[in-house]
Amino acid sequence: MIRKILLLLILLPIIGFGQQSALVSHYYENITLFNPSMAGYDENTSIRLNARQQWYKFTDTNIGRSSLSINKGFADDGVGVSIFSDNSGNIIKSGFNVSYSRRVAINDKSSVFFGLSGGYQNNQIQNISVLDFQYFDNKYNWSPNTAFGLTYNYESFLLGVSVDGLLDSDLGFTEQENILEKHYYAFMSYNFAASSSVDLKPSIFYKEAESGFSQFDLNLNLSYKNALTVGFGYKGNFSEDSDFGPLVTLGLNFGNIKSLISQEFNSSEVSSYSVGTTEITLSYVVSPKEEPIAVKKKEVETIEEEEFKDSDNDGVIDEEDLCPNEYGSKSAKGCPDFDNDGVRDSEDKCPNTIGDLMNGGCPLLSQEDSSTLVDAMINLEFDKNSSDLKQSSSPYLSNIGKLLLGNKNMLLIISGHTDSDASDEYNFSLSAKRAQAVRNYIIKMGVSKSRLIIDFYGETKPIVPNDTDYNKQKNRRVEFGVTFI
C-alpha cells in the first residue's frame, strides 16, 4: 500500500500540475483564488461558488475542488475571503484565505492593483492501510500559506501576475520535509463589444510550479445581450503526452445571478480510463440600490424608450461616463469618488474628506478657523535663543488643539523659523525644537501625533530682512498650514 501511495504522489505533478495548485477552468470568474490583487476590482459585493468534478472513474474516490469566495471593493481598497476543499484522490486539502488589495490610479482609464492574501490549509492522506500508519502523520497537518498579486487595468483590459506558496510551508505528511512549493501565475483578459448585442472576451491563463511543471488555458467567450454565454477553450501544457484537451462552456445570466458550466474532453492518456471533467460556477453580485426616478405618465406615452449601455452598472451611461469600466459616482460623472464630493479620486487631493471642487477636493476653511490659525501665528512667542513657549501663547495654541479635535480628518503642518543670529546649524536645530514644542503642547490636548507634521527651516526663509531687532523678532516664528487625509 505504501508503494501505491508514493507512486501516486510522484505521478500527480505530471497528470495534475502537482495538485498543490488546483485546476480551474473558470479562472476568469474566480481570479481572486489565484491573484489577491483582484479582490477590490469590483465595488459591488460578489459571491462566487465554484465546483469541479475531475476525471470521472479515474479512481474510486472523487477528484475535484470546490470553493466559496466573497469579495468587496471600497473605493481604492478591497477585501475578500475564500474557503476551499481540494481532493486529488488520496490527498485532501481544505482551508481558507483572506485577501486585501489596494488600487493606485495612473489616470482616468488605467490603474494598478496590489494584493496580498494569507490563510491556512489542512492536509490529509486517505486510504492508508493499518501497516502504513507509522509512516504518515495525519493528525495536525495545518500549514500556512501566503500569496502576492499585481494587476494592471486599462479600460476593460486586464493583465496580472501573482505568486503563491511564499512561505515554503511543510505539508507535514512524513518526518521528512514535504514542501508546498511556490506557484507562479499570469493571466490576461479583454472584453470588447463586437456589436450592440454581442461581447467577446478572450482570456489566457498560465501557471508554473517552482519544480518546472506548467499549464496554460486559452478561452474565448461570447456573450449575447449579457444574458447567454457560449465559450470554447483549450487546457494543456508544453508536453505532447500530457495535454488536457478542449472544453466548451455555456452560461446564463438572470439579473445579478450568473451561471457557467464547462465540459472538458481529455486528449491525454487519462482519457482511456476517464470520461472528462465538469465545472460549475455560480455568481451573485449585490449592487447598491438606486432611488427610483419619477416619470410622468404623459412622458412615458410620448417618448419612445431607448436602451443605453452602462458597462460598469453605476447608473451613468457609457456615453456620459468618464470612467465607463469602473464603478463610480454620479456626482463625479461615473468615476470612483469615495467621499462623494464630485471630485474623482484620481484628482482628489483629500479623497477621504468631503471638499470643494475649486479647492482640489479639499475642504475650504471657514473664516473663524482661518482666524484661529492666523491669531496663533501672530501671538506665538518664544524666549530668545530658547524653544520654551511663553505663557501668553497658551490660549492661542489651545484654540488650534480644539480645532483639530473637532475635525478628525484635518492634519496640521508646523513650520519652525529663526532670525539670522548664530550659526546655520544652531538655527536649524532651534527651529526644529520650537516646532516640536508646539507639537508636544497640542499632543497633550489629545491630538494624535500622526496628525501633526513638523518642518523646520532655520534662518533660510525670512519674511523681512534681518536688519533690525524688530524685524528679527518677526522672523523668529512658527507658521501653520492645514491639509486633510
Position 62 pLDDT exceeds 90:
no
SS3 429: helix
Burial class (CB in 10 A: 0-12, 13-18, 19+), 94: middle
Position 57 pLDDT exceeds 80:
no
Choice among 202-206, 234-238, 372-376 with the minimum mean pLDDT: 234-238
Domain ranges of the chain: 2-286, 367-484
Sequence-distant (6+) residues with CB within 8 A of 119 are 95, 96, 97, 98, 144, 145
Judge contact between 480 and 376, C-beta under 8 A: yes
Measured distance CA(44)–CA(10) in Å, rounded: 43
Q: pLDDT tens digits for 247-281? A: 999 999 887 899 999 988 766 555 554 567 889 99
Q: Considering the domain 367-484 in this protein, what is its CATH number?
A: 3.30.1330.60
E strand intervals along 303-349: none
Provide the CATH topology of domain 2-286. Answer: Porin (2.40.160)
The residue with cell 516646532 is 435
Alpha-carbon distance values, 275 to 42, 127, 192, 268, 293 (Å): 37, 23, 35, 12, 53
Measured distance CA(338)–CA(361) in Å, rounded: 11
User: Using CA of residue 17, residue 18, residue 23, residue 28, what is the dihedral sign?
Assistant: negative
Sequence-distant (6+) residues with CB within 8 A of 46 are 70, 71, 72, 283, 284, 285, 286
| Statement: the pTM of the whole predicted model exceeds 0.95 | no
* pLDDT band for position 15 (cuts 50, 70, 90): very low
What DSSP character marks residue 350?
A: S
